[in-house]
Amino acid sequence: MIRGGEKAVTLLWALRSPCPLSCRYCYFGTIEEHRDSPVTGPGTLSHLSRNDLPAADVFAFARSIAGSAVKRVFLAGGEPLVWPPVLRLIEVLKGGGVQVVVATNGIPLNRPDLARALVDLQVDAVSVSLDSVDAAYNDAWRPARNGKDGWQQVIDGIGSLVAARGAAPAPRVGVYMVVTRHNLTDLAATGRLAADLGCDYFVPQPVALDPDHTLHRQLALTTDDLPGLGQQFAALADAQLPVWTPRASYPGQVADAVRVPTGFVRGCFGGRSLFFIEPDGSVWDCPSSLRIAATPSSRRRTILDGTAAQLFAADDGCADCPLFSVDCVNMWPLMDFDQVLSTSTGTAS
């Protein structure tokens, strides 16, 4: 939708399914489990998917974004930077007046030509996944399929991009940390590491696992973890690092999601100013697994159904939603990216 000429829509676009990492808690699931039990339901994701849209369809939709209500596109995956046409896609999006944020595991940034291209294309931000200051922990839970790449390559990739950017204002560079029961004591230290690497923002997000996930009991935060988590958020704030961090209400939102796994959220932005696109082109009101499961077949859409202006023209999404979950918490920082892009230092309140 465009309110008074203002672009107001954010797209979280899981661009492609493949990824060189095998993160054990990835929302795509793991290759190992899906090799034995392929997933087929609506909204389900898999790194083994054979249904990713052809490049021609991806580019046709991307070209339609110019002049639509879409303001910002987060390119995620899988790993978007291993898709050969990705730089051309970014060029199309930027040429259409759209802000582009790339979400990556960071390893492809070690290619000097790629890091330089992201700067030259004036990508607005690059978010890099890094889960700890402890390389052993990070690599145990985010192992590379080649058995070689890991924490050090992520650190080097961040350094490569920061160096390529130099004194240029973009891209902003940030670290996203998945917080579990095992690494929550590293939260503040990982924020300090992000600052030391020259990053501009740091977002710790709670792991989001369905209750029946095999790792839920082991990794998902519980009420017993909240005191320690609160101490870590306080230490992060007290450090006054020269990086943007989520607003002051964010730790409370995380705690609420831990205390009440499913609840009510008033004025939800899902389906109003945030939409989720899967690699097969499916469009959902938001990435919440609960919301996707509750979507009737009559509301299931795809980017093949029309242009961006047609798909995101009406404010007809969920205003109030009874399906608040930890998935929702992880979307709030996305919706605050105006602050990330407007300043490179200082925390937000």
Both tokens of residue 223?
């009420």
Inter-CA distances, 295 with 182, 260, 285, 290, Å: 34, 22, 9, 9
Q: What token pair was written down for 312?
A: 């995101």
User: Global pTM?
Assistant: 0.92
- Using CA atoms, how far residue 24 sits from 21, 213, 220, 298, in Å, is 9, 11, 13, 33
Pairing of strands 274-277, 9-14: parallel
Q: How far apart are alpha carbons 306 and 308 in whole angstroms?
A: 7
Closest CA to 175 of 122, 123, 133: 133
Burial of 175 (0-12, 13-18, 19+ CB in 10 A): buried
Instruction: Provide the token pair at 100.
Output: 């582009």
Instruction: For residues 119 and 153, give the distance between their C-alpha atoms in angstroms, rounded to a whole number.
Output: 19
pLDDT tens by residue, the chain, 349 residues: 444 456 789 999 999 888 888 888 877 666 667 567 666 666 666 566 778 899 999 999 999 999 999 999 999 988 999 999 999 999 999 999 999 999 999 999 999 999 999 999 999 999 999 999 999 999 999 999 898 999 999 999 999 999 999 999 999 999 999 999 999 999 999 999 999 999 999 999 999 888 888 899 999 999 999 999 999 999 999 999 999 999 999 999 899 889 987 877 777 878 788 999 999 999 988 887 778 788 888 788 999 989 999 998 755 555 788 887 787 788 889 889 999 998 644 333 3
The strand order across the sheet containing 301-302 reads 201-206, 172-179, 125-129, 99-104, 70-76, 9-14, 274-277, 282-284, 301-302
Measure the CA–CA gap between 119 and 189, rounded to whole angstroms: 28
- Burial of 302 per CB tally in 10 Å (0-12, 13-18, 19+): middle
